[in-house]
Each structure stands twice: as C-alpha cells, then as structure tokens.
Amino acid sequence: MAKQEASMLAIDGGDPYRKAPFPSRTPFDDREVELVTEAIRSQNLFFPSGDKVLKFEEGFAELYGAKYAVASTSGTAAIHTAIGAIDPEPGDEIITSPLTDLGSIVPIIYQNTIPIFADVDSTYNMDPVDVENKITSRTKAILVVHLCGNPCDMDAMVDIAARHGLWLIEDCSQAHLTRYKGRLLGTIGDIGCFSLQQSKHLTTGEGGMTISSDDRLAERLKLFVDKGWLRWRREFRETMHLRPREYLFLAPCYRMTELQGAVGLAQLEKVKHVVERRRQLGEYLTQLLQEIEGVIPAPVTPGGEHTYWNYVIRQTEFSSQFAEALSAEGIPAGVWIGKPVYLINAALRDKKTFGTSGHPFNGCHGGRKIEYKEGLCPRAERIMKQAAAFWFNINWSEQDIRDVAGAVRKVMDGLRAKVVPA
C-alpha cells in the first residue's frame, strides 16, 4: 500500500499545526486579593501569632479527612518534615522513584539517609516487585511518588511496608485530591506530602503541606518546621513570652507566612473544580491519542484516577526528535525530565554533598556505598528517551485538546515519512 503523503513538519520549514497561543493559567482572583489584604492589614504576617496559616492547615486536614496538617515553605520542605518526623538513623535507606523532581531526593540526603531507587513499571511509578527487591536491613521507609497525578499501586505498597515494618510516605506533590480505589492519596500511607508551588493543582506560589492521622507523629511533625520549638501548641501561645525557650531536637525553620496561608485558604475553595476539570481534559486527550498509531497515552494505574498535573505522551520510534517536533508545531511540549534523577544530580552522581566528604554516601555510618550510574533502573532510563510532556490548564477548551492530538498525529506521520522510503 502506498505511503500517505504527510504534511511538512514545522521543524523542516512547514507551517505549525497550531499558530494561536494556548490559554494561560489564571489560578488567582479577587478572593486571594481579599484574604491577602486581610493578612497585610492585620500588620502581622508571622504564623505563630496569626490565624491564616492555622486556618489553612485546619481546612487542608478537613479536605483530606486527616487528623493533622502542617504547613511549610515548599514541597521539598514538606517531604523533609515527613522524613524528620520518622527520625531515621544516619546511613538508613529510603526507597523511592528515579522519575521525580530533585525535591523528593534532597530531604533524604539532608537527613543523612541514602536514597535507593526502585525501577518503574508501565505506570511510570515504582514497580512494587523492585521495591521489595531493594529492601535491606537498613531500609527505614518507602517514599512513593505519585507521578504526574497518576497513583502508585498503593495496595502493593501498603502490603510491602506492613510486612517489612517500614514507614510509608506519599509524595503527592503532583497528585492533589487524587483517588486510588476511592481513597485520597496522602491518606493511605503513614504521611502524605504536598507541594503548593505555582504549577500545582492547589498553589500558594511556593509552599508545602504534610498530613497524617498517626498520633505518634503529630508533635514531631509540628515541631520540625519550627526548629523543634514547642510554641506551636495553642495553650502555650499566650504565655510563651514568659517561658524560657527550649528546642527539643535538631530541626530547620520551614515556617509558612500568613501571606501564603491567605492564598491557600482561597485555593481550598477552588481545588475540587481544578482537579475535576484537569481530569476531564486529560481523559479526553487520552481518548483522542488512542486512535494514533505508535503513540502511548498517559497511563492510568488500575484502580486509580489520574488528575494530570502534566500529560506524558510516549512513543517508541523517534526518541528525542518527538518532543522537538511537537514543540515546533506550536504545542507547549518538551523533554520530560530527560533522565532519571540519579543521572542529572551531581550530589548523587558525583557525591557532591557536604564539602568533599561525599557524606552520607561514604559509608561512615555503616551505610552502603552506592554508585548511581546508567543501568541502575533500565526501564526508567528507556522511558525517559521515549517521552514528551506538556502542561495544560483548566482554561483550555476541548478544541485546544483536539489541536494537541492533531499535532501529535502530524508529527508521528511526518517523522515516520522521513525514515520510511517512499
């Protein structure tokens, strides 16, 4: 059968499939302005003596049905707070995903523990079989990453953690109000961590939130964001100026300001709509992409609901050409991460951590000496070469989504025509 003539790709001088810009995201409106103005007019932006952050924590906990919520300065800080709460020994190991932002990894290293990477499966999340294979006598916790809004196999992760006596921490930075078998991510493990950075479903520009219903962890979670200082307790606030200071353990200062708390309160009113609309648009794109030969739409974990923080399109024919060609067609697409995190972070790859010590990878606390190099997680490395990602928002229309699918079809046909003889 004769090969169908393909339109000239934009990277080869053809016209872009989409010339008009896509709608910008507009996460803030008069409600944020109103609450931020209240905070400023109070003449106090310091959360221990304010009320916006406290109300934001209470509202976030209520949204998730959690007993405790602790606000912090970033998603990285939220994860560090979780790891600080479980109080690992130096040299202990935490198993996590190789496909993630460095914000998932920095807290592990700063708490003197060692990240151990489990390879991924077809969902782009950690493969439970490889997670279990990576457990040693030094393993303290599993840090699952619900990548791009797609849940991990939490039934398997809960089972593994329970059988081996491990803490289970959920990184939900890209998966706000996302469900797995009817349960909200962040409430299935021992601790849930959220980023509130500008791109997230719920945003305060920068910020983080850590939630738990585990009474054993409650006080340490609260103390960890405020240098181990006991003043977070409500009953201490009115009289804390009469008490001598006491810092109960080593901890950083990750306090959220009242400005972020005010924005967060307004965002709580919107996040359900944001998540639902993103889910609708993502599912529509998946429906359209399933009709295009050679394209693998964003996967959805069985039993889970994807909330599409971004959308990952994968194909197995053209490697890095795909993202470049799609971007040239006017689609806001790019390389997705590029490589697993252990290959793009000098702290892991080259042991550039604390001075020239290489700590905690130097074995000084009895931990293993780990080499982070190519071949460590072969499936993750292969997926990275085949994937492109783009970000949409709730202001996009169904026609915008159809244009993405149309551009993907054009790119696949065009690239294929360049390598298949006429």
- In sign, the C-alpha dihedral spanning 137, 103, 337, 346 is negative
Tell me, yes or no, whether 253 and 132 share the same domain.
yes
Tell me, yes or no, whether 157 and 293 share the same domain.
no
In a domain, 345, yes or no: no
Residue 119: DSSP 8-state: P
Tell me, yes or no, whether 120 and 164 share the same domain.
yes
In a domain, 354, yes or no: no
Tell me, yes or no, whether 81 and 132 share the same domain.
yes
- Whole-model pTM: value is 0.95
Q: What does the block give as tokens for 13?
A: 């001088």
- Separation CA 287–CA 291 (nearest Å): 7
In a domain, 4, yes or no: no
The total of structural domains in the chain comes to 2
pLDDT at 235: 63
State percent of the chain over pLDDT 90: 87
pLDDT at 237: 65
Domain C-terminal end among 271, 288, 304? 271
Tell me, yes or no, whether 412 and 289 share the same domain.
yes
Q: Number of helices (H) and strands (E), helices first, in the chain?
A: 15, 13
Tell me, yes or no, whether 67 and 185 share the same domain.
yes
CB-CB contact of 353 with 346 (8 Å)? no
Tell me, yes or no, whether 38 and 171 share the same domain.
yes
CB-CB contact of 113 with 92 (8 Å)? yes
pLDDT at 139: 98
pLDDT at 320: 72
Tell me, yes or no, whether 147 and 179 share the same domain.
yes
- Please give the residue range of the domain that contains residue 300: 10-26+272-338+381-419
Q: What is the CATH number of the domain that holds 172?
A: 3.40.640.10
To which H or E segment does residue 117 belong? strand 114-117
Which residue ranges of the chain lie beneath pLDDT 70? 1-6, 232-238, 240, 420-422
Report the candidate in 153, 165, 167, 187 with the shortest Cα–Cα distance to residue 94. 167
Report the candidate in 386, 389, 379, 388 with the shortest Cα–Cα distance to residue 308. 389
26: Cβ–Cβ under 8 A, 6 or more apart, which residues?
Answer: 395
- Separation CA 157–CA 140 (nearest Å): 14
- Separation CA 48–CA 322 (nearest Å): 50
In a domain, 42, yes or no: yes
In a domain, 348, yes or no: no
Tell me, yes or no, whether 114 and 211 share the same domain.
yes
CB-CB contact of 258 with 45 (8 Å)? yes
Domain C-terminal end among 228, 247, 271? 271
Q: What is the CATH number of the domain that holds 20?
A: 3.90.1150.10
How many CA atoms lie less than 13 Å away from 197 in the CB half-sphere?
16
CB-CB contact of 177 with 271 (8 Å)? yes
Domain C-terminal end among 214, 246, 271? 271
In a domain, 353, yes or no: no
pLDDT at 152: 98
Q: Strand 179-180 and strand 183-184: pairing?
A: antiparallel
Q: What is the pLDDT of residues 309-349, one digit of tens each?
A: 999 999 988 877 899 999 999 999 998 888 999 999 999 99
